[in-house]
């Protein structure tokens, strides 16, 4: 209920409200499944973002000032909102104030104070709650604390947990597989369920005031300072693998600093701001790619700052709080557009974000589903929840540029011998005499095939052996034994069986264990149908009009780098040429929900 009320409050001035209780597609079986979930959401179907000017990538923009200026804060992101917790107001004044920033409406809200004021503490989220560890109070140079506090945003209330084994401050914090790691001069692992602590392998380079973040299950500890934290700063990058309890040194950060912020977008780590050895503060924005172990430099902050909180939501980064020389507080909130790819909320692969995608997300609500768990990027957070819904709604009603769409032949041309690929460089070439049919397709135009010698040929994309992929197309007509889509000399990807015209695929595992997958759904009835084949790395699935009509497990798929045909079989045999209309053919390098 609290989530529903939050969405209504946020958008009620601009939106129409829709209560999702029933799905009117009875033929798909979605109505029954959604009713069983007892999910009742008041959602926004709005063109809200259409009225907002789009940011330019690699640029910073000022947002609403933080109400309570402070530095060396704790912070975290929960349900698409940014929580700023505690911090220092001056060298002798530490606060317990908690404020939350909503980046969609650019507003701040005051929440219940933390039980005790502190700075240099560590904060993270777990199980929908916010955990705060240690810190320093009552002044910047005071002693560290052992306290563990937990905040429940649903009831705006704090509780205290069992103390840490030792007082701690100036730590980096990260969460991996249900364990919270505090990393600095030691490496402590906390189980929030049992409230127990375990000592792990110490960092190779002892330091504090570092920043930590997680990519692909590994913790990256970046920057930091010596015990006498005013004297020396580090540019070290050391990676901890919780599975092996080992550390590895990586390429140094170009700019050595402490009290910096780090966050992850699309698998890349942004290290922003901080304190230098020779200069008290920096605007540096440097990006680390864990795959190539390299750093690049991006546009700097508009305002020097250290002791700030840095986080990402979607492909945007936010810098909040902090200070620059002589403890002069920074009140400006800055938003950075990375321009990087974020996971696509176009679950059914139709090129737009609408009610169909929303229904799919609701079906997987509160489940650990990798396709719908799109936020925060790049790997989600292990559950389909409000954060994923918020990202989906930010694209509502708009066409979407899906980076996983590797080829799209709209087949809307009115003339010529080329079918252009609007998603890439895989233009297709017409052979025989297929006829353009402007305005007669399911989506604008279509291409008419005669069933005798008409076909379209395409270069090599993708190789089915290389990972997940999907192919979808609209068609009308056809006859038993005919083929919609095939790979030259290898397999018919989408075709009909020779007896009844039921949808099937010949893409299969190599060797004797591989067999075609055949449905019991006839698709040659003269009506428009959207058919698809999806391979998720383990399962083959055939779809007709959004319904899975056949599925099985496979250890792998056979394939090659050879080209593709639209409208005929793999060997161009007589009887495999398509007779009818084909429209809007799409290939994705991911599994798609239709």
**Domain check: are 81 and 16 in the same one?**
no
**Domain check: are 86 and 141 in the same one?**
yes
**Domain check: are 221 and 127 in the same one?**
yes
**Domain check: are 319 and 456 in the same one?**
no
Q: What is the pLDDT of residue 373?
A: 82
- Of 374, 394, 414, the position where a domain reaches its end is 394
| Domain assignment present for 512 | yes
**CATH code of the domain covering residue 438:** 2.60.120.200
Lowest-confidence segment of 26-40, 176-190, 316-330, 559-573 by average pLDDT? 26-40
**Domain check: are 92 and 151 in the same one?**
yes
Across 365-375, average pLDDT: 79
| Domain assignment present for 51 | no
**CATH code of the domain covering residue 80:** 2.120.10.80
pLDDT band at residue 507 using 50, 70 and 90 as cut-offs: very high
Distance CA 580, CA 9 (A): 50
| Domain assignment present for 535 | yes
pLDDT reading at 38 higher than 70: no
Across 188-198, average pLDDT: 96
Question: How many domains is the chain partitioned into structurally?
Answer: 3
Q: Give the chain's mean pLDDT.
A: 85
Distance CA 108, CA 89 (A): 18
**Domain check: are 421 and 558 in the same one?**
yes
* Residue in 181, 121, 126 with CA at minimum distance from that of residue 153: 126
* Residue 41 structural domain: 2-46+342-394
pLDDT band at residue 193 using 50, 70 and 90 as cut-offs: very high
- Of 328, 361, 394, the position where a domain reaches its end is 394
| Domain assignment present for 287 | yes
**Domain check: are 420 and 283 in the same one?**
no
Distance CA 93, CA 75 (A): 19
**Domain check: are 425 and 478 in the same one?**
yes
**Domain check: are 315 and 355 in the same one?**
no
**Domain check: are 94 and 197 in the same one?**
yes
| Domain assignment present for 54 | no
Distance CA 39, CA 363 (A): 9
- Of 310, 337, 364, the position where a domain reaches its end is 337
Say what the pTM is.
0.58
**Domain check: are 373 and 509 in the same one?**
no
Sign of CA dihedral 536, 175, 251, 338: positive
**How far is C-alpha 409 from the chain's CA centre?**
26
CA-to-CA dists, residue 461 to 163, 410, 554, 586, angstroms: 56, 17, 21, 11
**Domain check: are 428 and 327 in the same one?**
no
């Amino acid at each position: 209920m609290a989530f529903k009320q939050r969405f209504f409050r946020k958008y009620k001035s601009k939106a129409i409200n829709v209560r999702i209780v029933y799905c009117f597609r009875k033929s798909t079986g979605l109505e029954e499944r959604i009713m069983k979930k007892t999910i009742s959401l008041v959602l926004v179907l709005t063109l809200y973002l259409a009225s907002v000017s789009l940011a330019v990538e690699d640029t910073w923009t000022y947002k609403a000032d933080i109400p309570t200026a402070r530095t060396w804060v704790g912070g975290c992101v929960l349900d698409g909102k940014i929580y700023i917790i505690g911090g220092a107001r001056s060298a002798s004044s530490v606060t317990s104030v908690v404020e939350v920033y909503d980046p969609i409406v650019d507003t701040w809200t005051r929440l219940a104070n933390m039980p005790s004021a502190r700075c240099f503490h560590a904060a993270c989220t777990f199980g929908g709650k916010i955990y705060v560890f240690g810190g320093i109070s009552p002044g910047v140079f005071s002693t560290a604390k052992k306290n563990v506090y937990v905040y429940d945003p649903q009831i705006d209330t704090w509780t205290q947990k069992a103390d840490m084994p030792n007082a701690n401050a100036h730590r980096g914090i990260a969460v991996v597989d249900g364990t919270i790691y505090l990393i600095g001069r030691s490496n402590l692992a906390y189980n929030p369920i049992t409230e127990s602590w375990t000592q792990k392998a110490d960092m190779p380079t002892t330091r504090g005031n570092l920043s930590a973040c997680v990519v692909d299950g590994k913790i990256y500890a970046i920057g930091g300072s010596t015990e006498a934290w005013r004297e020396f700063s580090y540019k070290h990058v050391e990676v901890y693998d919780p599975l092996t309890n080992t550390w590895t040194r990586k390429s140094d950060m170009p700019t050595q600093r402490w009290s910096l912020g780090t966050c992850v977008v699309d698998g890349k780590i942004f290290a922003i701001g901080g304190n230098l050895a020779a200069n008290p503060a920096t605007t540096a924005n440097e990006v680390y790619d864990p795959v190539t172990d390299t750093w690049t430099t991006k546009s700097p902050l508009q305002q020097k700052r250290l002791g700030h909180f840095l986080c990402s939501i979607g492909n945007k980064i936010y810098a909040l709080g902090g200070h620059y020389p002589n403890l002069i507080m920074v009140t400006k909130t800055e938003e950075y557009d990375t321009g990087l790819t974020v996971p696509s909320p176009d679950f059914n692969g139709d090129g737009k974000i609408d009610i169909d995608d929303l229904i799919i997300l609701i079906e997987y609500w509160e489940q650990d589903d990798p396709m719908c768990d799109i936020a925060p990027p790049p790997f989600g957070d292990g559950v389909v929840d409000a954060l994923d819904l918020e990202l989906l709604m930010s694209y509502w009603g708009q066409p979407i540029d899906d980076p996983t769409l590797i080829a799209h032949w709209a087949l809307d041309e009115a003339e010529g011998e080329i079918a252009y690929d609007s998603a890439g460089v895989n233009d297709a070439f017409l052979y025989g005499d297929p006829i353009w049919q402007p305005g007669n397709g399911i989506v604008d135009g279509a291409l008419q095939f005669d069933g005798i010698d008409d076909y379209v040929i395409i270069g090599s994309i993708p190789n089915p052996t290389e990972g997940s992929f999907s192919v979808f197309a609209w068609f009308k007509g056809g006859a038993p034994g005919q083929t919609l889509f095939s790979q030259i000399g290898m397999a018919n990807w989408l075709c009909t069986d020779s007896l009844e015209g039921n949808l099937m695929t010949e893409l299969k595992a190599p060797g004797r264990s591989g067999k075609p997958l055949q449905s019991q759904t006839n698709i040659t009835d003269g009506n428009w149908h959207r058919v698809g084949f999806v391979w998720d790395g383990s399962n083959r699935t055939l779809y007709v009009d959004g319904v899975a009509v056949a599925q099985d497990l496979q250890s792998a798929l056979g394939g090659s780098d050879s080209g593709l045909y639209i409208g005929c079989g793999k060997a161009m045999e007589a009887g495999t040429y398509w007779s009818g209309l084909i429209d809007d053919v799409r290939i994705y390098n991911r599994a798609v929900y239709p």
